[in-house]
Amino acid sequence: MKKIKTIQYKVASPFVNMGPIRLRQPLPTAGIENVDPFLLLHHYGPYAISEMNNPFDLGPHPHRGFEPITLLFKGEQFHRDSLGNEMVVKAGGVQWTTAGRGIIHAEAPTKEFVKKGGELEGIQLWLNLPAKDKMMTPNYQHLEASQIPTITSEDQKAKLHIIAGDQKGEKGLIKTQTAVNVFTAELDAEGQLEIDLPESHQSLIYLLEGSVVVNQTEDLQKGEDQMITFHQDGNAIQVNAKTRSTLLILSGAPINEKVTQYGPYVMNTQTEILEAMRDYQQGKMGYLY
């Protein structure tokens, strides 16, 4: 039996500065430290990238203890890492890095994309790993848009892309360490979706573009409130688009463990953070130049 999840918080997506990059950060935000197991959500772009303007060139940097995920909506990015992976991620594609005990990676718009110019837009998502998996072997998964299962509404006005988890018989190809659903959606005006999410999961919906009504009661609009989190009291959410809209839908089984974070490391204790810093300096996370 369907029971609609009630709304917990509705929040804006304020701009923050990350070095030369200005981006939106709805999570964490005032009053919401995380939506366990999701720790951070950055919405970058759309940026007009050109040879004269390319701030999104992130050189080699380490991670440990979680999964940094990039969902690209516009443009092209080149990923390379200390495991030897080199991959171009294009619009609609996903790169899912399991940092585990340590990985160094770099990402930037491709040289070809910078030369021809265009818009770059994406989501950077940090997904926590439970203590038992924080020191697992690092891994990298890549999906092109064509590999992502899609559910289309009968009237063709709504599409739901299943990146990880499952929905109405369709299963995402990303292998996850914990039970999570990661979906993106595109809706035309008057498009509608009802999305099944386990009652036990913490969940959120984030609006990248457009204007929608959630659960027939709450408005989200680009530039105003853009994120809603839900209580663990139902197994579905409803979305009705007022204009052409793009959404991110997340749910996950809470890990319920202490989180200790410092920069690019997410562990359970301060001692483990210090160990991560030492291991990176000693080259135990590999090398990337």
276: enclosing H helix or E strand: helix 270-281
Query: Mean pLDDT, 10 residues at a time, over the chain (289 residues)?
Result: 96 93 96 97 96 90 98 97 97 98 96 96 98 98 98 98 97 98 98 98 98 97 97 98 98 98 97 98 95
Ranges of CATH 2.60.120.10 domains, the chain: 1-12+149-257, 38-143+282-289
Angle formed at CA 176 by CA 289 and CA 229, multiple of 5 degrees: 100
Q: What is the pLDDT of residue 56?
A: 87
Instruction: Give the pair of three-digit tokens for residue 274.
Output: 């210090």
With helix as H, strand as E and coil as C, how does 11-33 read?
EECCEEEECCEEEEEEECECCEC
Contacts of 84 (CB under 8 A, 6+ apart): none
Q: Diameter of the chain by CA atoms?
A: 57
Q: What is the pLDDT of residue 20?
A: 86
What are the respective helix, strand and coil percentages of the chain, to the nearest 5?
10, 55, 35
DSSP readout, 118-143? Answer: EEEEEEEEEEE--GGGTTSPPEEEEE
68 cis-preceded (ω within 30 degrees of 0): no
Q: What is the pLDDT of residue 25?
A: 98
Choices 3.40.50.20, 2.40.30.40, 2.60.120.10, 1.10.238.10: CATH for 38-143+282-289? 2.60.120.10
254, 36 contact by CB (below 8 A): yes
Question: For the chain, give me the number of helices (H) and strands (E)?
Answer: 2, 26
Angle formed at CA 122 by CA 217 and CA 24, multiple of 5 degrees: 60
Q: What is the pLDDT of residue 55?
A: 84
Q: What is the pLDDT of residue 249?
A: 99
Q: What is the pLDDT of residue 103?
A: 98
Domain spanning 1-12+149-257: which CATH class is it, in words? mainly beta
